[in-house]
Structure 1
Amino acid sequence: MTALSSPITDIVSDPFWQATQAGKLLIQRCPVTGRHQWYPRAHSLYAPEATPEWVEASGRGTVFSFSTIHRGNGPMDTPYTCALVMLEEGVLMLSRLEGIAEDEVQVGMPVAVAFTSLPDGIALPIFRSRQT
């Protein structure tokens, strides 16, 4: 397997990637409405004149949808499962599921964030099964 390449970071997403290295999952929150948003943006979705603030997410969620990839031409060994995870904060995050057999993955199953390190020190958030 070829190593995964690191994401390209920028001034907007840098706080997120720095937090993953410390094992923390950050998402943005609108300072006007208090609503959360994901993916990182320079403005709030709910009050476009406002700059969102970074807050630590619980890291807990449920599988909203998923797909198991059996054939690929990328750097990851197959099969692997990609999932849309609905975080407790109400945002959807696309990530990979690990440590869950393909036939055990179900919509609605509880998951929790974990982190996997890339060679350059960046950490990617992934999700694993959690007990309710």
Structure 2
Amino acid sequence: MPRKPVPEPSADSRPHWEGLAAGRLLLQRCGACGRVRHYPRPLCDSCHSFAVDWVEASGEAAVHSWTVAHHPFHPAFRPDLPYTLVTADLPEGVRLLAQLRGAGPEALRIGLPLRIGFEENGEGLTLPVFRLRD
């Protein structure tokens, strides 16, 4: 079985990955206009500034959409099938895509409150996951 592909942190994304490893979801915020952005990237799409700082997400989210994966995009993901991928709105104004844990897709509805958790993926990488909020 091949290994799962893993991202290689860049200078722009390294704080994001280090935050996940520490159990914190860090989001980029433009140092010029204050707009929060996710995924990490070097340039603000609002004001085009390269200035950046990092803010910790609240850990809350709400379902925006979801899909159930039945076919792997890479053979290493075959043992995980099927799994539910959720796109969620964060109160910080960005969306996050992550797998759902602890519930099936039948529990989901648009706007359902979620909380962000963290899981080691077995490849030396910590990833965010979603769980239903208690």
Taking structure 2 as the reference length, the TM-score comes to: 0.87
Q: Which runs of 4+ in 1 moved over 4 A?
A: none
Please list the CA deviations of residues 70-116 of structure 1 after superposition, one character each: whole Å capped at 9, or x if unmatched: 23363332111111111111101111111112211111111111111
Aligned length: 131
2: CA distance between counterparts of 1:128 and 1:39?
20
Task: For residue 61 of structure 2, give the secondary structure of its aligned residue in structure 1.
Answer: strand
Contact map agreement 2:63 2:88 (CA 8 A) in 1: yes
Partner of 1:109: 112
Counterparts in 2 of 1:56 and 1:73: CA distance versus 1, 3 Å: closer
Identity of aligned residues (%): 35
What SS does structure 1 have at the residue aligned with 2:115? strand
- Structure with bigger helix share is 2
Distance 2:32 2:11 in 1: 22
Q: What's the counterpart of residue 11 of structure 1?
A: 11
Q: Distance in 2 between matches of 1:109 and 1:6?
A: 29
Separation of aligned partners in 2, 1:102 and 1:19: 28
Segments of 5+ residues of structure 1 without an aligned counterpart are none
Aligned to 1:68: 68
State the SS of the aligned residue for 2:45.
coil
CA distance, structure 1, for counterparts of residue 2 and residue 99 of structure 2 = 17
The residue matched to 1:66 in structure 2 has which SS? strand
TM score, norm. by length of structure 1: 0.88
CA RMSD of aligned residues (A): 1.8
